[in-house]
């Protein structure tokens, strides 16, 4: 076992299979008790350079697809084997409830399994070159080759599965990868890196650099030897990184102000319960978290009643307690910001129907109505357990307001009317339209990504592998006879 010695009191940076426990110390706190879980060492610019150098060198000798399959499959098995321990680790460093973390750990198993399988399915395509005049008797096809070195920069709100969504496809595609996790939650990324080494990954193919966005993330982005970036985080950070990439490609999974529409023909109780889960799960710290619910006026009161009833039953508290539904947010500062936005909305005329109570970093499930359209709680990503419920009369108008945001990640529509479902699919400008479930619905194998300020590029192992490979055309011309040959 190589994993445990590094994941105790001290978490180092990983370069070429060696853990380096130097660099400034940063405490990783239990987000509910405040106890120190570990000390992480910030990477210096030299450490970032060394991690990229090791990755660059390792990327020159890619593994065979069946070798990648074997390693990723072993890691999926290891995550499944250590499910409870990993979920508890993530629960403590993130404050997400144990229930949420068990679910995330199971999803990480899926993500690594699918990545393993996709490693054996990387194909190009036959190009019908003979159809072009002058190209008779030729053949052409495309190959997908690894980009080389992938830089993976990740947020705090899904510390294991988001890293798995980057590392799994990057390695499956034949790349080396250097991970820069959130400074709030480095433990899961370190554990996953250890598991990859244990599974037999050649050491340079995985690097880990710890610390804040600036200077550690910026140093990684500045290193031109990193060929591709896969980023998940806020839109502001995504834009800052994007502006520094030049001609290098990237996948940007950024923020959203997710809308879900509930039509009058829907099962209103089911829609309310699903919306409650989608709004308050992980204390609302999910990129697709239900933040705006547009409910048809005819069923508005009924819907609100069900939503309030189900939200009132949610338990806020110690995330390790299996009865807890909502743990603390990532920091007290984040909870204070959410509280301020709620207060501001109320000051502008919104009605606080439930919650709005903050205690330290914990925010109670909060439901607002009568929210003015310009209030921040409906215009900017709140990333907290706060939801606004807004009536509509006309379905066209509901589609328009869901679209009326700079963001476009996912949206949900509850209806039993096929025409409305198809209309929503055609007209909602988002990466994913979910019918009869909320915006916050994801299977790890599906294509997942945003448009507009929610980013670009697509995740889901099969699609991420396409992003993290280069397509190369091979054109076969008949060889001309040698001089003197017929
Ligand atoms: P964040 O943008 O603050 O940080 C994300 C990562 O970027 C961290 O590792 C951070 O250290 C790093 N970083 C910050 N500044 C950087 C810079 N200048 N250069 C390089 N790296 C830098 O995000 P967060 O608060 O950790 O996460 C919450 C955000 O993530 C929300 O906006 C949420 O919507 C988004 N998110 C999106 C998805 C998605 O799939 N679209 C999924 C989860 C979270």
pLDDT in tens, 146-189: 999 999 999 999 999 999 999 999 999 999 999 999 999 999 99
Q: What is the CA(331)–ligand 1 centre distance, in A?
A: 15
Q: Which atom of ligand 1 is nearest to the CA of 287?
A: 34
**Is 72 within a domain?**
yes
Q: What is the CA(33)–ligand 1 centre distance, in A?
A: 24
Q: Is the CB of 151 under 6 A from ligand 1?
A: no
Amino acid 3: pLDDT? 39
Co-location of 186 and 281 in the same domain: no
Total structural domains within the chain? 2
Q: What is the CA(237)–ligand 1 centre distance, in A?
A: 6
**Is 481 within a domain?**
no
Co-location of 172 and 146 in the same domain: yes
CB count within 10 Å of CB 57 equals 14
Co-location of 285 and 431 in the same domain: yes
Average pLDDT over residues 303-332: 98
Q: Is the CB of 447 under 6 A from ligand 1?
A: no
Residue among 26, 233, 289, 405 whose CB has most ligand 1 atoms within 8 A, to mutate? 233
Average pLDDT over residues 373-389: 98
Amino acid 8: pLDDT? 58
Residue of the nearest CA to atom 14 in ligand 1? 213
Co-location of 208 and 277 in the same domain: no
Give the pTM: 0.97
Residue 399 has pLDDT above 80, yes or no: yes
Closest by CA position to 445, among listed 172, 97, 186, 234: 172
Average pLDDT over residues 224-235: 98
**What token pair was written down for 183?**
């400074």
Co-location of 33 and 88 in the same domain: yes
**What token pair was written down for 99?**
């229930």
Amino acid 21: pLDDT? 94
Q: Which atom of ligand 1 is nearest to the CA of 454?
A: 41
Report the C-alpha gap between 467 and 274 in whole angstroms: 32
**Is 392 within a domain?**
yes
- pLDDT per residue as tens digits for the range 410-453: 999 999 999 999 999 999 999 999 999 999 999 999 999 999 99
Residue of the nearest CA to atom 31 in ligand 1? 234
Amino acid 1: pLDDT? 31
Residue 77 has pLDDT above 70, yes or no: yes
pLDDT band at 130 (very low <50, low <70, confident <90, very high): very high
Q: Which atom of ligand 1 is nearest to the CA of 156?
A: 26
Q: What is the CA(154)–ligand 1 centre distance, in A?
A: 6
Report the C-alpha gap between 333 and 361 in whole angstroms: 7
Co-location of 247 and 279 in the same domain: no
Question: Residue 393's domain spans which residues?
Answer: 259-435
CB count within 10 Å of CB 66 equals 9
Sequence-ordered list of residues with C-beta below 8 angstroms from that of 392, at least 6 positions apart, any chain: 261, 294, 295, 296, 297, 398, 401
**What token pair was written down for 43?**
């990477």
Average pLDDT over residues 404-408: 98
Higher pLDDT, 6 or 233: 233
**Is 399 within a domain?**
yes
pLDDT band at 485 (very low <50, low <70, confident <90, very high): confident
**Is 482 within a domain?**
no
Tell whether the torsion through CA atoms of 243, 247, 253 and 258 is positive or negative.
positive
Report the C-alpha gap between 342 and 357 in whole angstroms: 10
Report the C-alpha gap between 16 and 23 in whole angstroms: 17
**What are the backbone angles phi and psi of residue 309, rounded to the nearest 5°?**
-60, -45
**Is 20 within a domain?**
yes
Amino acid 212: pLDDT? 98
- pLDDT per residue as tens digits for the range 267-310: 999 999 999 999 999 999 999 999 999 999 999 999 999 999 99
Sequence-ordered list of residues with C-beta below 8 angstroms from that of 104, at least 6 positions apart, any chain: 87, 90, 96, 158, 160, 161
Higher pLDDT, 239 or 5: 239
As a whole number, the mean pLDDT across the chain is 97
Q: State percent of the chain over pLDDT 70.
A: 98
Q: Is the CB of 285 under 6 A from ligand 1?
A: no
Active site residues: 253, 287
- Helix/strand number for the chain, H first, E second: 16, 23
Co-location of 300 and 242 in the same domain: no
**Is 443 within a domain?**
no
Co-location of 249 and 269 in the same domain: no
**CATH number of the domain bearing residue 239:** 3.40.605.10
- CA dist 367 → 284, 352, 357 (Å): 12, 6, 11
Q: Is the CB of 341 under 6 A from ligand 1?
A: no
Co-location of 108 and 217 in the same domain: yes
**Is 195 within a domain?**
yes
**What token pair was written down for 40?**
């992480």
Residue of the nearest CA to atom 40 in ligand 1? 253
Residue 253 has pLDDT above 70, yes or no: yes
Residue 2 has pLDDT above 90, yes or no: no
Residue among 26, 42, 111, 155 whose CB has most ligand 1 atoms within 8 A, to mutate? 155
Q: What is the CA(233)–ligand 1 centre distance, in A?
A: 2
Co-location of 273 and 248 in the same domain: no
Co-location of 284 and 149 in the same domain: no
Q: Which atom of ligand 1 is nearest to the CA of 244?
A: 19
Co-location of 318 and 373 in the same domain: yes
**CATH number of the domain bearing residue 311:** 3.40.309.10
Residue 6 has pLDDT above 90, yes or no: no
Is residue 203 within 8 Å of 57, Cβ to Cβ? no
Q: What is the CA(165)–ligand 1 centre distance, in A?
A: 15
């Amino acid at each position: 076992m190589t994993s445990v010695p590094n994941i105790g009191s001290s978490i180092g940076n990983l370069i070429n299979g060696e853990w380096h426990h130097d660099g400034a110390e940063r405490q990783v706190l239990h987000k509910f008790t405040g106890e120190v879980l570990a000390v992480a060492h910030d990477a210096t610019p030299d450490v970032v350079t060394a991690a990229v150098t090791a990755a660059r060198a390792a990327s020159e000798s890619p593994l065979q697809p069946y070798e990648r399959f074997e390693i990723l499959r072993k890691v999926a098995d290891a995550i499944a084997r250590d499910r409870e321990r990993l979920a508890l680790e993530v629960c403590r460093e993130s404050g997400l409830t144990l229930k949420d973390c068990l679910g995330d750990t199971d999803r990480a198993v899926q993500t690594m399994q699918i990545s393993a399988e996709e490693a054996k399915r990387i194909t190009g395509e036959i190009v019908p070159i003979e159809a072009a005049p002058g190209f008779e008797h030729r053949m052409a096809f495309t190959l997908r080759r690894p980009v080389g070195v992938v830089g993976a920069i990740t947020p705090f709100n899904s510390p294991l599965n988001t890293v798995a969504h980057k590392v799994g496809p990057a390695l499956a595609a034949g790349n080396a990868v250097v991970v820069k996790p959130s400074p709030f939650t480095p433990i899961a990324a370190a554990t996953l890196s250890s598991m990859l080494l244990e599974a037999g990954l050649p050491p340079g193919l995985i690097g880990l650099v710890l610390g804040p966005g600036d200077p550690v993330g910026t140093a990684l982005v500045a290193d031109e030897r990193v060929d591709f970036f896969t980023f998940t985080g806020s839109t502001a950070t995504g834009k800052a990184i994007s502006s520094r990439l030049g001609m290098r490609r990237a996948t940007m999974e950024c923020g959203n102000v997710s809308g879900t529409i509930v039509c009058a023909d829907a099962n209103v109780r089911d829609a309310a319960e699903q919306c409650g889960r989608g709004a308050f799960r992980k204390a609302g710290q999910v990129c697709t978290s239900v933040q705006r619910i547009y409910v048809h006026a005819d069923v508005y009161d009924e819907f609100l009643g069900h939503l309030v009833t189900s939200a009132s039953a949610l338990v806020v508290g110690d995330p390790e307690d299996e009865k807890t539904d909502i743990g603390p947010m990532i920091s007290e500062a984040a909870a204070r910001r959410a509280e301020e936005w709620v207060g501001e909305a109320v000051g502008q005329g919104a009605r606080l129907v439930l919650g709005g109570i903050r205690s330290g970093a914990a925010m109670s499930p909060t439901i607002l109505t009568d929210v003015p359209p310009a209030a921040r709680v409906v215009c900017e990503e709140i990333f907290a357990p706060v939801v606004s419920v807004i009536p509509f009369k006309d379905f066209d108008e509901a589609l328009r307001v869901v679209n009326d945001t700079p963001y476009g990640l996912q949206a949900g529509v509850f209806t039993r009317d096929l025409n409305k479902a198809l209309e929503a699919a055609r007209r909602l400008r988002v990466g994913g339209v979910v019918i009869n479930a909320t915006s916050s619905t994801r299977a790890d194998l599906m294509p997942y990504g945003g448009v507009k300020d929610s980013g670009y590029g697509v995740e889901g192992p099969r699609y991420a592998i396409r992003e993290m490979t280069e397509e190369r055309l091979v054109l076969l011309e008949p060889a001309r006879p040698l001089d003197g040959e017929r």
